[in-house]
A and B are shown apart, each in its own frame.
Chain A
Amino acid sequence: MKYMSSAGDYKVDRPGRLVGRAGRIAPDLKWPFVGTVAITFVATIVRLLGPLVIKGGIDQGITEGDRQVIVTAAAIFVGLLVVQYFAAAISQWSVAVIGERYLVRLRSVVFSRLLRLDMGFYSRSKSGVLVSRMTSDIESLQEFASEGAAMALTNLLTVIGVAVALGLVDWQMALAVFVVVGVLLGVSVIFQRQARRAYDQVRERIGRVLATLQEGITGVRVVQAFTQEDAQASTFGRVNERYFDANMDAARAISWYFPVVALLRVVALAAVLGIGATRVLDGSLTIGTLVAFLLYLDWFFQPIINLSNVYNLLQSALSAMAKLFELMDEPVVVEDRPGAHDLTEPVAGTVVLDGVSFSYEPDTPVLFDVSVAVDAGERVAIVGETGSGKSTIAKLVMRFYDPTVGTISIDGTDLRDLTERSRSDTLALIPQDGFLFSGTLRENIAYADVSAPDEAVWNVMRAMGIDDWVRSLPEGLDTEVRERGGRFSAGERQLVALARAFLSDPAIIVLDEATSNLDPETEIQVEGALRVLLSGRTSVVIAHRLRSAERADRVVMVDAGRVIAEGTHDELVERSAKYQELVEVWRRGTK
């Protein structure tokens, strides 16, 4: 949250500004919205005419004994109902179109912002929070769009319409009803406050229940291995009971509110009947008016209850909106400078770090004055202990961050003067774990170039030595890798990631070597693929193994954010005591 506070302007207590900004996301929906309000207005007016028709039927038909008037009134009523049906249906439908269209737009806008934000932002923010902006927050807007908006509009118009109608028909009875409704409103406010608190708690606690549940399921093997079944069950029992308690708090609120509403409705009915009866008896009111009034009365209470429910949806929609705007106000730090240009082809692939210092957070520098020059086609291994800053170098070369001091350049061009397109064409990162997107194998391999022909994909796979493996899969290239490659082993995922890099054919490869062990056979395959991939390209390898250091043209040893030695493996073994230590540890691990 600390990092999300840069735009605290949009608090829920300023709904006007929020709604205004929300509207600017989709200005083209303004006129459809106006049209929808109009048709909803028509539907409401037509509906409100119904009781007046009945009043006419009673006063001119039944009271006068004129059957013809009764038939006519019934016919008019049916005609009104037909109009009402279509107007209401169109209103419902068009509110939904507007709301859902808006959400499509909003999702797209927020996501595109998310994609533009730099890696600094990603490393600061919890991924769960980011995902929930795009999911639970927008979903609460969705809920409002699909359920709330139509309900808010129709019920609001109905309440206003009925209030006007009651006042027009008879102001004395209307006054009695308004008094009761005033009480209802007050009661509803109290209830909503109470219910909101209760439901906030319910939501929070169901979250705990689900988290504990999930933990109990995914960790079940450890639970059983350490015979923690009873302990887990009692923890879960407690969390679950607290959820029950929260639900019952909400139930208590509901259990007094709805009875009170029902009672108020009857009180209003009795009041109308009392006043109405007196007035009919003294001749100042027709019986038809009284009946019409009773009909209106039924349409008054439910919409008010509905509106108070919608109010909750609206509240959570607004607070979701506020959170989304905070996200959208995050500054984009790493961006193409004005006047950024492409590298001139052919790209040679030299990488120069010149006096680079860097800190993720102010005052805690990670790199100090690092200068490294990598020639075109050279393979440089960066070695050092965990936390020495070697991975940071890789990230800076990829321009996931900009250096605090100093420059990094490719073929003599400062990374910051390079267009993103040119940069991503020139550089490819191979992260530690072979990250796969859901989709087919083909989509994963041809990630950098969706339009790559099959032949090119097969060539790549042949070069990477995975063509036989892919052929052995029942669906071959069309195999769905499932979420994060859950179906494939770590080695297979790694191989696919290598193939992806090979197809994109970058001049420079930044390889963050995996620390974890693959099983020996796969390891051989990965080694072979890497050899093919790296040959003829500039490569910066964040090395975790002796082999990688040995095979590099040059080794750069980083310690506590500084380059402390540089040279070939053999040179460093002679010159650097620290390097010797490292090599010794590596050796022990592989003998």
Chain B
Amino acid sequence: MSERQSRLGDLNVGIALLWRVLVRYRRIAAVSIGGALIWMSMVVWVPYLVGRVIDAVVSGSGMSNVWPLLGLIIVAGAIQAIGISLRRYYGFKVSYRAEADLRNEIFTHIQRMAFSFHDVTSTGELMARASSDLSQLRLILAMAPITLANLVMFFVVTVVLVIIDPVLGLTAALMVPALLLTSGRFASRVVGFSFDLQQRLSELSHVVEETVSGIEVVKSYGQQAQQQKRLDDKAETIYDAAMGMAKQRAIYRPLFEIIPALGTVAVLLIGGIRVVDGAMTFGEFVSFTQYLATMVLPLMITGWFFANLPRSAAAASRIDALLATAPEISEPRRPEHLKPGQGEVRFNSVSFAYPDGASVLKDVNLVIPGGTSVGLVGATGSGKSTIAHLIPRFYDVVQGSITIDGVDVRELRLDELRSEVAVVFQESYLFSASIEENIRVGDPMASDDRVRSAARLAKAHEFICEFADGYATVVGERGSTLSGGQRQRVSLARGVVRDPRVLILDDATSSVDAIVEAEIQEALKQVMAGRTTVIIAHRTSTLALVDNVVFIEDGRVVAFGSHDELLETVPRYSEVLAADMGAIA
């Protein structure tokens, strides 16, 4: 019951969105609808004219009466063609324009949604909103003008048929609901199966992807046969889904020929007898057969339209829901500016919990003096990354406040805050662009020299120069042309080139091997000099670089002091670091 209600709700929201879109592009839509109506008003004349020709022939009145009629048919055909052209072109235009504009809106919106939103929303889900859901909507928009004209046509033709001959007219008009229902039912059944089929195709491609990326493991264990079986099983499920669809096709497709043919039989039987009885002319009889033939395709299309409408409305309502979700991090109404300073970061009784409820930080008080460096240490899940992510306002604190040089981060404009607080993530994400462009993301205005010196500091310059294209090397498929360590170094350079007041390194060198890391650490000393730096790291060599260490357990700051101090005074600290001390044989 409630499911049904929500589906009706979806339908309303979705149709409302479709309507808003049509209104937004009303001019283009109007031309398209106008074209459709022109087409319709011409199309309905042709069977009538054919009937008149036949009557002229049967009555033996000679070709002089026939030629003008043929001329009219061709004129109607020509005007009809213009109508089709307008209807199609502007119908496409509305639908593609709406699709493109909505996709831009969705993209911009996604870019503005806070981390908390992206934490719980999968990429696939967002992709679906901006691709398949939008295409679903576009299809319906493109079909709207012709459907409108078709509906008018069914009405007009039914009236004409009934006027010519009430009994035969009503009988023949039965074809309208029969074809509409058949086509609607067919479309909705096939849609279900095609959804299934898509699902299974993507499962199969998972198996392939997995086999290709895990081919070393497959070969190492000699399990080609097992992978083959997995694939064959998936191929078999695809077969089932495809055959499910084929069965519907086999049942319904022939009906689209049989139903109009049954209409023709009715015309032959009833119409024939009425012609013999003299209640109807032979020309009218032929008109009937022509009207039936004219309506077949429009009926099929209209049935398809209404079968797809609920799905499109559901897609539209999903898009609507996404666009209606407000970003959780909002710009301040009356923004302040950062005061001059060294980048002192202060946590005042900060508590934080993720939306799913688990409390992460409890009453954290912390002062990172401007220009100093701190290392955040704690076991997995202790909250150290969260502390780092609160400073650039990726999330807002639940209680308390965070200030930079005395200004609450929530009082600053986001672009100002984030230009002064740079984060280098562990998952070093690179854009598919050149290495240079990737570094310039940190500062689009940076000179070539600055880009290169940042790359040097990050120990990226050497390997970049080894590429044939150097800095212009394009990083493919999410940075996959580079190794994990190389990617981290490019993203480190990106953070360095930003030259922020506060630099946050979130486990930013975890994939770099020990040799390279040692070199980076040398360089880091320069970067850190006089700059507030927050480092999350496991390696003790990194911790030896920082002025202070913050030791965190269960969302609380347990100890604050230099690495050596903590080693001496806090036993737990040594324990947590123990594994990295190389003590286990």
Contact = CB atoms under 8 A, between A and B. Distances in A.
Contacts of A128: 477
Nearest to B513: A515
Contacts of A290: 54, 57
Query: Per DSSP, are chain A's interface residues mostly helix, strand or loop, or mixed?
Result: helix
A364 interface: no
Interface stretch (A88-96, A183-191, A343-351, A569-577): A88-96
A488 interface: no
Contact of B290 (A221, A228, A294): A294
Contact of A523 (B204, B249, B258, B580): B580
Interface stretch (B5-13, B345-353, B419-427): B419-427
B2 interface: no
B282 A62 contact: yes
A281 B100 contact: no
Contacts of B93: 248, 251
B100 A243 contact: yes
A258 B272 contact: no
B118 interface: yes
Nearest to B88: A255
B88 A67 contact: no
Contacts of A260: 81
B235 A104 contact: yes
B258 A226 contact: no
Interface in A358-402: 385-386, 398, 400
Contacts of A291: 54, 286, 289
A236 B251 contact: no
B442 A226 contact: yes
Given A223-B111, A591-B540, A93 B57 contact: no
Interface string B183-215: 000000000000000000100111011111111
Contacts of B78: 263, 266
B222 interface: yes
Contacts of B511: 515-516
A502 to B, nearest CB: 12
A252 B89 contact: yes
Contacts of A276: 57
The 9 closest A-B pairs by CB, nearest first: A424-B222, A266-B77, A96-B246, A520-B579, A251-B92, A88-B254, A259-B81, A255-B89, A93-B250
B429 A447 contact: no
A262 B538 CA distance: 73
B242 A142 contact: yes
A226 B272 CA distance: 79
Nearest to B89: A255
B584 A266 contact: no
A85 B221 contact: no
A115 B218 contact: yes
Interface stretch (B122-130, B166-174, B367-375): B122-130
Given A119-B219, A226-B498, A278-B63, A135 B250 contact: no
B581 interface: yes
Nearest to A252: B89
A295 interface: yes
A74 B265 contact: yes
A498 B66 CA distance: 89
20 contacts: A54-B289, A70-B276, A96-B243, A96-B246, A97-B246, A111-B227, A130-B212, A213-B131, A214-B123, A220-B118, A229-B112, A258-B85, A266-B46, A267-B77, A428-B220, A438-B210, A500-B221, A521-B579, A547-B584, A590-B540
A520 B217 CA distance: 26
A431 interface: yes
Contact of A97 (B92, B243, B276, B431): B243
Contacts of A259: 80-82, 84-85, 88
A107 B204 contact: yes
A543 B272 CA distance: 93
Contacts of A145: 242
A280 B57 CA distance: 7
Contacts of B569: none
B70 interface: yes
A226 B422 contact: yes
A247 B96 contact: yes
A226 B541 contact: no
Nearest to A590: B582
Interface string A398-422: 1010000000000000000000110
B51 to A, nearest CB: 11
A145 B245 CA distance: 12
Interface stretch (B150-158, B332-340, B515-523, B546-554): B515-523
Interface string A235-264: 011001101100110011011101110110
A122 B215 contact: yes
Contacts of A273: 50, 53, 66, 70, 73
Given A216-B107, A240-B103, A428 B221 contact: yes
